[in-house]
Structure 1
């Protein structure tokens, strides 16, 4: 079943908060909740009922495939268009898709952390 705006935001936040080493805050505006792993952004949840979005980091090849496959997935605003996509409510946007995208984004960012930081993360947490 496709998610509506509040459900999209809730799923993304629930998954992000369950992952190890995650902090969150509002560094940009009071309607953009930013999730970070060891200080690096991996997900942004737009808390705006008129424009609910979840923005995540993806592999560039996956970004193109996601944009082609889902009409409500597009290149992210204000982020590198090759590496980030924004997901809005729409056909095919399910809880399992959002869960997978948030976890994959976390892994993508965590994989690029310095070894000493990366090795302290419990990557099985929140799975």
Structure 2
């Protein structure tokens, strides 16, 4: 997956928005103001995704390209090293899981609104 495909996939989720709230290099994807994925647009070396804490540890043990979230809460975030060994279907699943984790923490009314988009 390249940066263009990554961006397109992140924006495919209902209500997803992109921005550069930190600097001109850090591309952030949010749902209702809550981050679900981050990357550096220049290097595209890492993709940060939110993850269930137990699953996060299991993924780090299983895949050498999954590490604790860089500049993020290491308990709840993983960083995926974007080398050529990352299967696209896994990356998409982890981005989707991240989005779903964030949506699950939103108010029920907001969750219902997102379902109708």
Same fold (TM over 0.5): yes
Identify which of 57, 63, 66 aligns with 2:59.
66
4+ residue segments displaced more than 3 Å = none
> What is the root-mean-square deviation of aligned Cα atoms in Å?
1.7
Quote the Cα distance in structure 2 between the aligned partners of 1:30 and 1:19: 23
Return 5+ residue gaps in structure 2 as ranges. none
Please give the per-residue CA displacement for 1:62-107, whole angstroms capped at 9, x wherever unaligned.
1101111111110012211010000012364111011101111000
How many residues end up aligned between the 2 structures?
A: 117
Q: Does 1:87 align with 2:103?
A: no
* TM-score, normalised by the number of residues in structure 1: 0.84
What does residue 27 of structure 2 align with? Answer: 33
**Aligned-partner Cα distance in 1 for 2:62–2:76:** 17
Separation in 2 of the partners of 1:91 and 1:113?
34
Residues 16 and 36 (structure 1), Cα distance of their counterparts in 2 relative to 1, 3 Å cut: same
Question: How far, CA to CA, are the matches of 2:100 and 2:115 in structure 1?
Answer: 11
**Aligned partner of residue 64 in structure 2, secondary structure:** coil
Secondary structure of the equivalent of 2:74? coil
Compute the displacement of 1:118 (Å): 1.1
Higher mean displacement: 114-123 or 13-22: 114-123
TM-score (norm 2): 0.90
How far apart, CA to CA, are the structure 2 residues paired with 1:92 and 1:69?
13
Find the aligned partners of 1:31 and 1:57 in 2 and give their Cα distance.
20
Q: Measure how far apart 1:10 and its partner are.
A: 3.3
